Chains A and B, each alone.
Chain A
Amino acid sequence: GENVEQHPSTLSVQEGDSAVIKCTYSDSASNYFPWYKQELGKRPQLIIDIRSNVGEKKDQRIAVTLNKTAKHFSLHITETQPEDSAVYFCAASKDTDKLIFGTGTRLQVFP
């Protein structure tokens, strides 16, 4: 069945460093790849997304890259700040609102 693998499960970085989270999807028909951030005790919120006709998308300190051939996509956060500390989820879908999520990455940014 459809599957999304996400690595690493935990990531600790020093403030100002970069953080990279990687995901691999199984269904080659997937065409939409969002990333959600969930702070402790709060609801998941979309931070960036990319569609399969685009290879890279950037929004300030956050960027996402997509490699359709290898079926993987990555989240890049530059100049990390303590408020970036949260759990990040990648997801994939194909023309529906049914998202298949990865298992999450807990990012800790130390001052």
Chain B
Amino acid sequence: KAGVTQTPRYLIKTRGQQVTLSCSPISGHRSVSWYQQTPGQGLQFLFEYFSETQRNKGNFPGRFSGRQFSNSRSEMNVSTLELGDSALYLCASTPGGQNTGELFFGEGSRLTVL
């Protein structure tokens, strides 16, 4: 079974631009969550989607948004990029339901904002 796949793996943007990151969950998994990882802050929860609906949301500004498609694939978008948005963005999937246990992470998309 293929793992969680994230694209692109690396990208460089400049301030003010926007970026879209993609995540394909493990086959059969219906829940996708996103985390931002930075050296000082660790992993911070962005949002979680289940059956195309946002089920939970973290404390990030409205510039951060996401969506989930009917095939459970998910995208997140960051608009008006700031230098502080430079981070590793991790996507994770689970079978669904509530608090089902293990999150299966992708390898992440490393965003650099210049």
Contact = CB atoms under 8 A, between A and B. Distances in A.
B56 A43 contact: no
Contacts of A62: none
Contacts of A100: 45
List 6 tightest A-B contacts by C-beta distance, closest first. A103-B42, A98-B56, A43-B105, A101-B43, A46-B102, A95-B99
A96 B101 CA distance: 9
Interface of A: 1, 6, 31-32, 34, 42-46, 49, 89, 91, 93-104
A45 B105 contact: yes
A98 B33 contact: yes
A96 B99 contact: yes
Summarize A's interface: helix, strand, loop or mixed. loop
Contacts of B58: 98
A81 to B, nearest CB: 23
Given A97-B55, A99-B35, 6 more contacts: A91-B43, A97-B31, A97-B56, A97-B92, A99-B43, A103-B40
B44 A97 contact: no
A87 B83 CA distance: 25
Contacts of B103: 34, 44, 46, 97, 99
A102 B41 CA distance: 8
Contacts of B85: none
B61 to A, nearest CB: 15
B75 interface: no
Nearest to B95: A97
Given A43-B107, A46-B103, A97 B33 contact: yes
Contacts of B101: 32, 34, 46, 49
